[in-house]
């Protein structure tokens, strides 16, 4: 598969050099692979660190900046970063009020962040960790690694970031992050696979008229394979799955997210169907995002994430944010 790269093994560092060149508001350590806000830690503010495999851009590096993350640790493509990166980021963003780790629920991310938190504790930095696990396609049981963290990560980073920016303490920031996770659910559909630069070919094969339902964000197959359907039918499948788990009434924050290879015109077609389906189920979308926010390389497809809002969560969502990928109010 053709890719705009120099070499498969320099993709992550070459991209980080590009991020550094494009965004003077960020301080990028290309060698150790950490993206920080320029200007160092904010004294007295809780620091927010997230991280995960690369290939999900703009997540997480695109969300570093005022009102959102203080640091992001990108791993190799689809591979969790290592504890050294997370420790470096944690120390760099510690303004004396403690550091929140936002961790998507994948075995690798959880284990590496756990090790990093222990190392930070050895250096007397207070760390709280919040796990994101919003994907309804995975049964949360003893028989799986638990639900994956997907779209709700964006909501959590925005809302917890806003509260931290307003000076709240570590326990409050962690609590609002957990609240966002509990109130959010996601479901994803793939129309194509994707190819990691190192592998060079698609992770799985999908026929012209087939789709994968219940995918995550790593080009992995979903729960089931089925025939291609209309946008309206796909919206119904996604919202039936989400609605089986949380109430779709009241005020909602809804994201229709592209997996990386789907044009915006199709995402708006999907958003229209999602909005109609939610209205039909008694919900009211009061805030939304449409676009590529948490991707899986060049995979075609979409995910829907729904979060039940409260007045406080709406206020935090609306608070000013200034990052490469999310910017308003400032």
Partner 1 sequence: MNTAVFRAWIVSAAEVIEANRDHLTQLDAAIGDADHGINLARGFAAVTAAIDGAATPGAVLTVTGSTLISKVGGASGPLYGVAFRRAGKALGTAPEADLPALGQALEAALAGVQQLGAAREGDKTMVDALAPATRAFGKAIADGAPAADALSALAAAAEAGAAATVSMQARKGRASYLGPRSVGHEDPGAASTALILAALRDAVIRDAGA
Do 190 and 206 touch, CB atoms closer than 8 A?
yes
Considering the complex, state which of residue 7 and residue 43 has its C-beta at the smaller distance from partner 1.
Answer: 7
- Chain residues binding partner 1 by CB under 8 A are 53, 75-84, 106-108, 111-112, 115, 137-139, 142-145, 148, 196, 198-199, 203-204, 216, 218-221, 223
State in angstroms the smallest separation of the CB of 214 from partner 1: 8
Q: CB count, 10 Å around CB of 287?
A: 16
Considering the complex, state which of residue 51 and residue 308 has its C-beta at the smaller distance from partner 1.
Answer: 51
State in angstroms the smallest separation of the CB of 62 from partner 1: 20
Q: CB count, 10 Å around CB of 166?
A: 14
Nearest alpha carbon to residue 148 among 139, 159, 157: 139
Considering the complex, state which of residue 2 and residue 201 has its C-beta at the smaller distance from partner 1.
Answer: 201
State in angstroms the smallest separation of the CB of 115 from partner 1: 6
Of 23, 56, 60, 101, the active-site residue reads 56
State in angstroms the smallest separation of the CB of 141 from partner 1: 9
State in angstroms the smallest separation of the CB of 35 from partner 1: 16
Do 152 and 110 touch, CB atoms closer than 8 A?
no
Do 254 and 229 touch, CB atoms closer than 8 A?
no
Q: Which residue has the tokens 């169907």?
A: 273
Q: Is 166 helix (H, G, I), strand (E, B) or coil?
A: coil
Considering the complex, state which of residue 95 and residue 108 has its C-beta at the smaller distance from partner 1.
Answer: 108
Considering the complex, state which of residue 7 and residue 265 has its C-beta at the smaller distance from partner 1.
Answer: 7
Cross-strand bridge partners of residue 213:
189, 224
State in angstroms the smallest separation of the CB of 222 from partner 1: 8
CB-count burial class (<10 Å; 0-12, 13-18, 19+) for 105: buried
- Structure tokens that stand for 98 in this block: 């403690």
User: Could you give the CA distance from residue 188 to residue 303 in angstroms, rounded to a whole number?
Assistant: 4
Of 23, 60, 101, 218, the active-site residue reads 218
DSSP for 233-246?
A: HHHHHHHHHHHTTS
The alpha carbon of residue 50 and the mean position of all alpha carbons in its chain are separated, in whole angstroms, by 9
Do 296 and 56 touch, CB atoms closer than 8 A?
yes
Q: Is the peptide bond before 60 cis (omega within 30 degrees of 0)?
A: yes
Active site residue 23: no
Considering the complex, state which of residue 47 and residue 53 has its C-beta at the smaller distance from partner 1.
Answer: 53
Catalytic sites, residue numbers = 56, 218
């Amino acid at each position: 598969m053709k890719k705009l790269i120099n070499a498969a093994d320099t993709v992550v560092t070459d991209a980080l050099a590009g991020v550094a060149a494009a965004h003077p508001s960020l301080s990028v350590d290309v060698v150790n692979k950490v993206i920080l806000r320029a200007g160092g830690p904010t004294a007295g503010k809780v620091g927010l660190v997230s991280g995960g495999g690369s290939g999900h851009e703009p997540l997480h590096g695109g969300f570093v900046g005022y009102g959102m993350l203080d640091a992001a640790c990108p791993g190799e493509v689809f591979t969790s970063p290592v504890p050294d990166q997370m420790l470096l980021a944690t120390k760099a963003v510690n303004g004396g009020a403690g550091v929140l780790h936002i961790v998507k629920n994948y075995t690798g991310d959880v284990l590496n962040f756990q090790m990093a938190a222990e190392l930070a504790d050895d250096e007397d930095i207070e760390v709280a960790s919040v796990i994101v696990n919003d994907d309804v396609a995975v049964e949360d049981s003893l028989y799986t690694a638990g639900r994956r963290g997907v779209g709700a990560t964006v909501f959590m980073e925005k809302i917890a970031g806003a509260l931290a920016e307003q000076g709240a303490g570590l326990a409050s920031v962690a609590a609002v992050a957990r609240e966002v996770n509990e109130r959010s659910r996601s479901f994803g559909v793939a129309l194509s696979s994707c190819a990691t630069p190192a592998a060079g070919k698609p992770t799985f094969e999908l026929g012209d008229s087939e789709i994968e339902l219940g995918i995550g964000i790593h080009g992995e197959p979903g729960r089931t394979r089925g025939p291609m359907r209309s946008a309206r039918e796909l919206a119904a499948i996604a919202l039936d799955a989400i609605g089986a788990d949380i109430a779709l009434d009241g005020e909602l924050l809804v994201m229709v997210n592209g997996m990386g290879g789907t044009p915006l015109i199709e995402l708006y077609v999907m958003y229209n169907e999602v909005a109609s389906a939610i209205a039909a189920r008694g919900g009211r979308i009061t805030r939304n995002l449409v676009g590529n926010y948490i991707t899986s390389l060049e995979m075609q497809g979409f995910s829907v994430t729904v979060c039940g809002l409260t007045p406080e969560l709406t206020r935090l969502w609306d608070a000013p944010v200034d990052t490469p990928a999310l910017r308003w109010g400032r």
